[in-house]
Structure 1
Amino acid sequence: MLWFGASLLLLSASPSWASVVVTADVSNNARRPAFPVPDLTQIRDILAHLEAPIISGLTERMGLATSHDLYANNGRRLIDVLTTRENIALKAGRFDYGKMEYPFTLPLISPDFTTPLTPFNPGTFHQDTFSGNPNITKFYLETLVPMFTSATSFYYHLDNSTLNDDAALNLDATLLGLLSHRSHIGKVVAETKYAANVTVFVPLIKSKDAGTIRTLLTNTAQEANVLAQAATAATAFSTAWITSGASFPPATGVNLQNAAAKLFRELIDITTQIEIEYIMQRLR
């Protein structure tokens, strides 16, 4: 349920990671910089640069032995690690306006509002209230974590134990941050597409026609390119680890390919939803 007033609060019976708090302050508009967005070619280069870190992190995480009990209670221990890390990151400015990084456990940055003094002309970033992080966390816990099945670890312990819960949770948190950043660049994609077709989008926004907006935003050819690039990267990283001497089981390459395919398919879907929500709030 969404309540409007001095703040916007999204309440849910879902786990704690699904709750998002948004504080609205119209006066923030005047203090914020106006950020022009790059064109689609530049954005695609930016997204391509994120593929290697994501696949690298996924490769490393799949190389760790995992006790799935670590993610009991809707990933409570992971959420605790995220909260600690995000409180430190907040002080360092990681979630500042325009950074395109959004916390999983802390209040979101307040949205922008169009006013005579801050018109947010087409091509200018306009912060909305939507976060894709709950969907990312749900996918991570329900789909990716069960794919972490390695019985060995690249950590060496004299007691021959294979588990390193701290390393696993911190890798999880790092990977989630990358997935979130990659997905929320969809807001920039949406602004670029909006600026290129304002006269078409405005009536659709006013009529709340999310279906047609989705159709306009979807580029199946580009989606296929993203999936192909992710598959290539997964092959390259698994091969590099194995040829360097890493003690990985024979199925590592196939498992990484499968995980990467599921992950980037989900990222495409979450990013599309982020784009739609951005467009729907563009005239706010």
Structure 2
Amino acid sequence: MNFKDPSTVLDLNNIRASLVRMEETIVFGLIERSQFFSSPSVYQPNKYNIEGFDGSFMEWLLLQTERMHSQVRRYEAPDETPFFPEELLKPLLPPIDYPKVLASYSDEINVNKDIMDFYVAHIVPQVACEKGDQNQNSGSVSLCDVECLQALSRRIHFGKFVAEAKYRGDPALYKKLILARDVAGIEASITNQAVEDKILLRLKEKCEAYGTDPSLKYSQNQQKAKVDPELIVHLYKQYVIPLTKKVEVEYLLRRLEDEDGQ
């Protein structure tokens, strides 16, 4: 997908291909996280008393990562949504003039707080290899968390591109639904259960493949995946897919504010 070429950005086949690649990033990220303890101290607000920062150690590291990445234009890209948008720094590199594809309010659609909440409360306790802290690994744990959170955020906020593509594919339908504030109708129009089932099956198979040693494929000893494939399926079914739909619905409900966006 080339963000300098709008015709590629809103091609649903290209969008699907991008989403498939993001699945792999998320699966690998969770496999990496699974080698560490749950490490609750890195999520405890002000546990480390970081001067000038009110939050957890992991959140501080995420902020520092976003500030550094913002200097190399990461958050100028249309497919990136920061957790700390007000804290970004001015890029050191010259700006890139990306063609306008999404509506002007697209940056206001941000569900990163929801992503952070479900990741810390529901994903970490299930994916961690043991409960409790490993003080010697606090930094490594938090680095893994930052990578997982950024991957999840990019995947979920990609729903903006799906929503824009669907709107342009049938503007008459969506104008009717938007004017009626028909949230249920919008949700129905963006839902394809067969596609969702295919995603969940593919995720399970990827987790089974990536989380085991291929050299032991024909071993008589049954291998156990590093991350339970059903956990990845649960993650997508209960959180990733619903939050992606939330992004799409919020985007579409405001789409008539920006009719010139096409």
Which amino acid in structure 1 is aligned with residue 15 of structure 2? I
Secondary structure, counterpart of 2:83 in structure 1:
coil
**Displacement of 1:107 after TM fit?**
3.0
**Displacement of 1:68 after TM fit?**
2.0
For residues 232 and 148 of structure 2, the distance between their equivalents in structure 1, rounded to whole angstroms, comes to 13
For residues 208 and 56 of structure 2, the distance between their equivalents in structure 1, rounded to whole angstroms, comes to 32
**1:20 aligned partner:** none
Could you list the runs of 5+ residues in structure 1 that have no partner in the other structure? Answer: 1-32, 110-119, 153-160, 245-249
Over 3 Å counting, the alpha-carbon distance change for 1:162 and 1:80 in structure 2 is: closer
**2:13 aligned partner:** 41
Show CA shifts across 1:57-95 (max 9, x none).
100110123322322239712111111111111111111
**2:149 aligned partner:** 176
**Displacement of 1:251 after TM fit?**
8.9
CA RMSD of aligned residues (A): 2.8
Over 3 Å counting, the alpha-carbon distance change for 1:243 and 1:108 in structure 2 is: farther
For residues 218 and 85 of structure 1, the distance between their equivalents in structure 2, rounded to whole angstroms, comes to 34
Pairing of 1:89-238 with structure 2 (within 5 A): 89-98=69-78, 100-107=79-86, 124-127=101-104, 128=106, 129-151=108-130, 163-238=136-211
Using the size of structure 2 for normalisation, the TM-score is: 0.77
Moved segments of 4+, more than 6 Å: none
Over 3 Å counting, the alpha-carbon distance change for 1:197 and 1:182 in structure 2 is: same
**1:25 aligned partner:** none
**2:249 aligned partner:** 276
For residues 166 and 6 of structure 2, the distance between their equivalents in structure 1, rounded to whole angstroms, comes to 15
Over 3 Å counting, the alpha-carbon distance change for 1:280 and 1:97 in structure 2 is: farther
Using the size of structure 1 for normalisation, the TM-score is: 0.72
Which amino acid in structure 2 is aligned with residue 49 of structure 1? R
Tell me if 1:65 matches 2:45.
no
Which of 74, 83, 86 lines up with 2:63 in the alignment? Answer: 83
Which amino acid in structure 1 is aligned with residue 186 of structure 2? I
CA contact (8 A) 2:212 2:226 kept: no
Q: What fraction of aligned residue pairs are identical, expressed as a percent?
A: 27
Secondary structure, counterpart of 1:283 in structure 2:
helix
Show CA shifts across 1:35-71 (max 9, x none).
4433222211111111111101100110123322322
For residues 83 and 242 of structure 1, the distance between their equivalents in structure 2, rounded to whole angstroms, comes to 40
CA contact (8 A) 1:65 1:162 kept: no
Which amino acid in structure 1 is aligned with residue 64 of structure 2? T
**2:92 aligned partner:** none
For residues 42 and 224 of structure 2, the distance between their equivalents in structure 1, rounded to whole angstroms, comes to 22
For residues 250 and 37 of structure 2, the distance between their equivalents in structure 1, rounded to whole angstroms, comes to 38
Show CA shifts across 1:175-222 (max 9, x none).
110111111111111111111110011122122221211111111111
Secondary structure, counterpart of 1:73 in structure 2:
coil
For residues 273 and 201 of structure 1, the distance between their equivalents in structure 2, rounded to whole angstroms, comes to 16
Secondary structure, counterpart of 1:65 in structure 2:
coil
Which amino acid in structure 1 is aligned with residue 153 of structure 2? S
Over 3 Å counting, the alpha-carbon distance change for 1:189 and 1:262 in structure 2 is: same
CA contact (8 A) 2:39 2:141 kept: no
For residues 254 and 171 of structure 1, the distance between their equivalents in structure 2, rounded to whole angstroms, comes to 15
